[in-house]
Amino acid sequence: MHEFDLIRQIDSFTTAHEDVKVGIGDDAAVTSSSAHKDMISCVDTICEGVHFKRSTLHLSDIGYKALAVNLSDIAAMGGTPRYYLVSLSISEDWKQEEILEIYRGMNDLANRYDVLLIGGDTVSAQNGLVISVTVLGEIEKNCSLLRSAACEGDIVFASGTLGDSRGGLELLLSQGLTGEEHALVGVHQRPEPQLTLGQLLKESGFRIALNDISDGLSSEIWELAEASNVCICLEEKNIPVSEDAIKLFGKQTAYEYALTGGEDFQLVGTVAKAHWPTIQSTAQEKGIRLSAIGSVEQEGASQVLMQKNGERTRIKRAGYRHE
């Protein structure tokens, strides 16, 4: 069963409650916590051999990344992370000092954003290492940025450059850690959660739909289209890919990595056309690159199209999927 099919089945067991503002189906859950704040909760799990290998990540990078993927979900809601918990399933071939080095990597990132470790759990496993991180954050009441906010006429935008993490992984798989001096490798090993941008977008007060790019642009843009029930058309030439990726892998492969490579942990979203110049210039003032990559064309038809050389084709929902 595909991950998204399983999520839909699990959602059928959930019960609506007045305190739950956003449940299953967005980057994180949002619940009412006080008169002025909502709580944002998210959890992600990474498994040895599936999400990471010792041959491509240093031990501290494993910990850094385990926390970063969760902070990215908080960023996609426009929130501020506050606390995190860690659950480990550890086999006998992992040494205590190695586990502590993983925690050091988490701590490196947590200290940058003032996020506190407040607990967790550790159990034995027969094989490998599994790390599950839960992050608790907060946001001003009723200010969360949701995937379901896109409307006809919106500009579709993306942050940073896309596909670099996949390019870095390819270099690591072919060269091992000896090739890690390349910039793309750093993007893969230590992705930067876009917390500053998420909060900037929230503080704008504009209607913004937002999603983080964890499984590849094509997968995440489909999530936006389906949540908002809109048709989105992307312009391939406007998708931001780095010169490094083009130089190493060629333009077409660089675009493929952007669409399906995953683990960029940038943000993709939509905003009203009238508000786009303000959003772009405000981000630029903070040193953040935002690119207009398409538009929302109509409501009532969930689909994603790609325009290339004057022709349009329907984008397949591709990218990393848990099966």
Known binding residues for Mg(2+) are 27, 44, 73, 121, 212, 215
Asked if residues 298 and 150 have their Cβ atoms less than 8 Å apart, the reply is no
Give the contacts of 177 (CB within 8 A, at least 6 positions apart). Answer: 55, 56, 58
Asked if residues 91 and 128 have their Cβ atoms less than 8 Å apart, the reply is yes
Residues flagged as binding site: 27, 44, 51, 73, 103, 120-121, 147, 212, 214-215, 263, 320
Asked if residues 28 and 41 have their Cβ atoms less than 8 Å apart, the reply is yes
Edge-to-edge strands, sheet with 29-32:
20-22, 29-32, 37-47, 129-140, 80-90, 116-124
Q: Work out whether the CA dihedral 176, 182, 183, 186 comes out positive or negative.
A: positive
- CA-to-CA distance for 137 and 72, rounded, in angstroms? 12
Asked if residues 308 and 237 have their Cβ atoms less than 8 Å apart, the reply is yes
Residues flagged as binding site for substrate: 51, 263, 320
Residues flagged as binding site for ATP: 103, 120-121, 147, 214
- CA-to-CA distance for 79 and 266, rounded, in angstroms? 15
Asked if residues 175 and 55 have their Cβ atoms less than 8 Å apart, the reply is no
C-alpha dist (Å) from residue 238 to 106, 231, 296, 306 = 34, 18, 15, 11
Q: 3-class DSSP state for residue 135?
A: strand
Token match 């997968």: residue?
Answer: 219
DSSP per-residue letters across 2-24? -HHHHHHHHHTT----TTEEE-B
- Which amino acid, one-letter code, is at 227? A
